[in-house]
Amino acid sequence: MTQTRPDGPNFTSVTDEKVEKPDFEWRAELTPEQYHVLREKGTEPAWTGTLLDMHDPGLFRCAGCGAELFRSDDKFDSGSGWPSFTRAAAEGIVNEHQDRSHGMVRTEITCARCGGHLGHVFPDGPNPTGLRYCVNSLSLEFEPEKSSSGGTSA
């Protein structure tokens, strides 16, 4: 069962079952760019992501497995060049790992469901959390919020 925040709208649910696939399946299902980011811990160039300026109401899902990761209500313009959020959509949906690559110490974030690399979290975000989840657009897919009539909102 998928956890949802009590203040969030309804979206299509995805189970919390772990997703494990052999490398050849990930390569077949993802674009080469998505594979590089999600499976090889790559980073897309700043200011190039298709979801950087997406501010429509909706949900940001993992491009690898469809897990509900972030909500548009928690998205903000950090000036970093990547989509940024103050918190994950639900407790436990994003895992944190120490990252010592590139000569620095950071906190990597990955999808708890499939292990896909999302980006990093930093302690320099706005209220209410003080956190900045800095995420690659290639790691995400956007699902517009459903209107009460069953379609999508405009």
The two tokens of residue 78 are 């950090």
Domain membership flag for residue 113 = yes
The pLDDT of residue 5: 41
Amino acid residing at 97:
H
The pLDDT of residue 38: 98
Residue 113 sits in a domain whose CATH number is: 2.170.150.20
Domain count, the chain: 1
Separation CA 41–CA 58 (nearest Å) = 26
The pLDDT of residue 12: 45
Torsion angle in degrees (nearest 10) through CA of 145, 150, 152, 154: -110
Domain of residue 106, residue span: 21-144
Mean pLDDT per 10-residue segment, the chain (154 residues)? 41 68 96 98 96 96 98 96 97 94 92 97 96 98 82 52
The pLDDT of residue 96: 96
Domain membership flag for residue 110 = yes
134 is catalytic: yes
